[in-house]
């Protein structure tokens, strides 16, 4: 089976990508970076509600057992026959999917030979489903909404046709790509750089956490592609006046569109859209087809443009078959102890592992605590500076540390092929967030494992996840006595971690940034009202 289009090129492959050079005008040297802070999830279900839900679940289970007994009393072999039919259908679906992937080439999709050669240099020879369906439509000039699971090659699905169109009519700024997180912006830029190397592509990453002046200088040189987070790009639009002209942009891409089309980004996104031309191609890609995304699928009453082409892969929001999913049922106050036991156990001690938490403070506490316990680890959350976040990812990708503790900022789009284990330290309230989390492992046909730490308050959340993924998690066996042997050591390490966070005034940066954002928002509103009154 062909490797997925998200696989990362090595140095040799990058060098081999130099073939026919269709040299573009020389707008800009690469640079810079991203912003947006993930929203922290607060609290869990009330304990009494969880108990009632658990009782209800037990009653439902009893009813299901009764129904199952009645079925077994029916004609002999009937249920076995149904199971055989289901297995045959699954095999047929797998065969159809495999045949689909192997029967098409990138050339048949309309891509130029220099792009096909660049893909071959990266050992990518066969397009994925989302690429097969969307690339011809984008090349034909249509707006596109594409839905596909993580790791399915969504980035290449829009990057390849954009690069081809750019080579035919090169100028800057040709395309703007928006993404909700800093890390994803850098990852998208990396793919553009590798695929566009033979045409002398110039791109800029514009995100928070890095110097605005350096970014402004880079933008003034008019790069071909701008990859940005909405907040920082809007800041540049507001501060640069006419110097930053986006009136000739050919493509606007919203990657992880489900998250961008929320209230969190609404104001910044609106400001960016005002600076872009009406006559452009708009491409939305997501793993989750939310109502906000689907609302854009119909024809607009305010525009003469036809409705966009919409394609959603059958497995758009699901987990892959190569992923083993299980849970550990524990008392809520014992999470840290069981976590330490797992990371020290023979099975997981050296595995590349991402631990997901819902809050920045939890992630930082675990980072300090695990280091106190002698477990090498690094973290990824929005309380860290951009350079700290990049350094953490570099250490984890390079194998310097095998454990990464991340908030949900790390669950969107990051492609780290070597991840073998995902640990959900807490359970996300939205099943979609769970899918994005566990999607960091078992990528591109590889195997992987996801273990969720479940307390008595999380039972309904787990049932919701199981309903969404249409799978039942198995319990992961942990010898309780061995885990409890670590209780005193872990408690001491946790106490030291809490003292460290208190002494460093952890969270003060977020409070100050929040005050600045509120002040800036008020200033914008004031300036807007003044302009309206003067125009009258």
State how far the Cα of 442 lies from the Cα of 236, in Å rounded to an integer: 38
pLDDT in tens, 51-69: 334 444 444 444 444 444 4
Integer Cα distance of 530 and 536 in angstroms: 10
**Cα separation values, 190 from 31, 161, 194, 282, 347, Å:** 12, 16, 6, 21, 33
Q: What is the mean pLDDT of residues 153-181?
A: 95
Confidence category of residue 253, pLDDT binned at 50, 70, 90: very high
Average pLDDT over residues 139-159: 90
Q: How far is CA 512 from CA 211, 358, 376, 506, 520, in A?
A: 18, 21, 31, 12, 12
Q: 327 in helix, strand or coil? A: strand
Residues 6+ apart with CB under 8 A from 483: 334, 337, 338, 341
- Helices 154-168 and 182-195 pack at an angle, to 10 degrees, of 50
Q: Residue 383: its pLDDT value, please? A: 87
Res 211 pLDDT > 80: yes
Q: Which of 3-7, 254-258, 379-383, 526-530 has the lowest mean pLDDT?
A: 3-7
Which pairing describes strands 309-312 and 251-255: parallel, antiparallel, or unpaired? unpaired
Buried b (16+ CB within 10 A) or exposed e, 258-271: bbbbeebbeebbeb
Structure tokens at 370: 């695990």
- Of 245-259, 330-344, 377-391, 451-465, the poorest mean pLDDT is in 377-391
Output the pLDDT for position 528.
56
Tell me the pLDDT band of 183, cut-offs 50, 70 and 90: confident
What is the per-residue pLDDT across 68-87, written as a single tens digit (0 to 9) for each? 444 444 434 444 444 444 44
pTM: 0.64
Q: How many helices (H) and strands (E) does the chain have?
A: 20, 14
Q: Assign 389 a pLDDT band (cuts: 50, 70, 90).
A: confident
Read off the tokens for 191: 């793919």
316 closest CA partner among 338, 291, 286: 286
| Residue 179 near residue 287, CB atoms below 8 Å | no
pLDDT digits (tens, 9 = 90+) for 423-435: 999 999 989 889 8
Bridge partner list, 355: 405, 423
Please state whether the peptide bond connecting residue 132 to the residue before it is cis, i.e. omega within 30 degrees of 0. Answer: no
| Residue 45, both tokens | 């279900």
Residue 342 pLDDT more than 80?
yes
Domains, the chain, ordered by start: 18-38+101-312 (3.40.50.300), 323-495 (3.40.50.300)
When the pLDDT of each residue in the chain is averaged and rounded to a whole number, the result is: 81
pLDDT more than 90, % of the chain: 54
Which value, in Å, is the radius of gyration of the alpha carbons in the chain?
Answer: 25
- Residue predicted with more confidence, 287 or 467: 467
What pLDDT sits at residue 241? Answer: 74
Helices (H), ranges, 485-507:
487-503
Report the C-alpha gap between 83 and 72 in whole angstroms: 13
Could you tell me the pLDDT band of residue 40, with boundaries at 50, 70 and 90?
very low
Q: Give per-residue pLDDT as tens, 351-388.
A: 999 999 999 999 999 999 999 999 999 999 888 888 89
What is the predicted pLDDT for the residue at 157?
96
**Which residue is associated with the tokens 């309380």?**
383
What is the model's pLDDT at position 107?
95
The total number of residues written for the chain in this structure: 536
506-532 mean pLDDT: 69
pLDDT confidence of residue 48 = 38
Rounded CA-CA distance 122/376 in Å is 32
* Lowest model confidence (mean pLDDT) among 57-71, 102-116, 279-293: 57-71
421 pLDDT exceeds 90? yes
CA distance 385 to 497: 20
User: Inter-axis angle of helices 230-240 and 263-275, to 10 degrees?
Assistant: 40
pLDDT value of residue 483: 94
Q: What is the pLDDT of residue 315?
A: 57
3-state secondary structure of 104: coil
Q: Which two tokens stand for residue 73?
A: 């009393």
DSSP state of 242: G
Task: Please compute the mean of the pLDDT values over residues 450-478 and round it to a whole number.
Answer: 95
pLDDT at 1 over 90: no
Q: Are 357 and 327 in contact (CB under 8 A)?
A: no
Instruction: Give the CA-trace dihedral at 222, 228, 229, 232, to 10 degrees.
Output: -30
For the record, the structure tokens of 300 come out as: 């607009």
Sign of CA dihedral 256, 259, 260, 261: positive
Closest CA to 180 of 327, 34, 386: 34
Q: Find which of 4-13, 34-43, 196-205, 305-314 is predicted with most confidence, using mean pLDDT.
A: 196-205
| pLDDT, position 525 | 65
Residue 468 token pair = 């969404």
């Amino acid at each position: 089976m062909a490797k997925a289009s998200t696989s990362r090129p090595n140095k040799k492959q990058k060098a081999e990508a130099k073939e026919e050079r269709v040299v573009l005008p020389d707008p800009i040297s690469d640079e810079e970076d991203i912003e947006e802070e993930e929203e922290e999830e607060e609290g869990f279900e009330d304990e009494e509600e969880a108990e009632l839900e658990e009782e209800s679940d037990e009653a439902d289970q009893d009813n299901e057992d009764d129904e199952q007994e009645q079925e077994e009393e029916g004609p002999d072999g009937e249920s076995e026959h149904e199971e055989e039919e289901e297995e045959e259908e699954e095999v047929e679906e797998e065969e159809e999917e495999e045949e689909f992937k192997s029967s098409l080439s990138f050339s048949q999709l309309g891509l130029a030979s220099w792009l096909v050669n660049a893909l071959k240099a990266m050992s990518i020879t066969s397009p994925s489903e989302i690429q097969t369906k969307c690339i011809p439509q984008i090349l034909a000039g249509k707006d596109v909404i594409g839905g596909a699971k993580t790791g399915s090659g969504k980035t290449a699905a829009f990057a390849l046709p954009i690069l081809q169109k750019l080579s035919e009519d090169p100028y800057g700024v040709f395309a703007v790509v928006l993404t909700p997180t800093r890390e994803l912006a850098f990852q998208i830029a990396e793919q553009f750089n590798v695929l566009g190397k033979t045409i002398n592509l110039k791109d800029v990453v514009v995100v928070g956490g890095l110097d605005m002046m350096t970014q402004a200088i880079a933008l003034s040189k008019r790069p071909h592609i701008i990859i940005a987070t909405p907040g920082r790009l809007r800041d540049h639009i507001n501060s640069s006046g006419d110097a930053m002209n986006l009136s000739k942009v050919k493509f606007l891409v919203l990657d992880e569109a489900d998250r961008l089309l929320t209230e969190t980004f609404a104001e910044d996104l609106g400001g960016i859209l005002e600076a872009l031309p009406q006559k452009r191609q708009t491409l939305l890609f997501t793993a989750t087809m939310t109502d906000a995304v689907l609302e854009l699928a119909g024809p607009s009453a305010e525009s003469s443009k036809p409705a966009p082409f919409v394609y959603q892969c059958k497995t758009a929001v699901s987990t892959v078959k190569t992923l083993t999913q299980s849970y550990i049922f524990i008392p809520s106050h014992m999470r840290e102890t069981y976590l330490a036991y797992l990371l020290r156990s023979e099975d997981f001690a050296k595995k590349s592992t991402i631990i997901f938490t819902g809050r920045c403070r939890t992630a930082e506490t675990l980072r300090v605590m695990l280091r106190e316990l002698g477990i090498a680890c690094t973290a990824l959350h929005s309380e860290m500076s951009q350079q700290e976040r990049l350094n953490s990812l570099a250490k984890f990708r390079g194998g310097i540390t095998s454990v990464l503790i991340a908030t949900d900022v790390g669950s969107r789009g990051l492609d780290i092929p070597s991840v073998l284990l995902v640990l959900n330290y807490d359970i996300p309230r939205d099943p979609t967030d769970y899918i994005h989390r566990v999607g960091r492992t078992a990528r591109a046909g590889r195997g992987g494992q996801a273990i969720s730490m479940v307390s008595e308050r999380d039972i309904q959340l787990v049932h919701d996840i199981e309903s969404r993924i249409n799978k039942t998690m198995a319990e992961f066996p942990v010898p309780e006595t061995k885990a409890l042997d670590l209780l005193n050591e872990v408690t001491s390490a946790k106490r030291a971690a809490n003292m460290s966070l208190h002494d460093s005034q952890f969270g003060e940066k977020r409070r100050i940034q929040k005050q600045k954002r509120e002040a800036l928002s008020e200033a914008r509103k004031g300036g807007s009202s003044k302009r309206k009154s003067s125009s009258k």
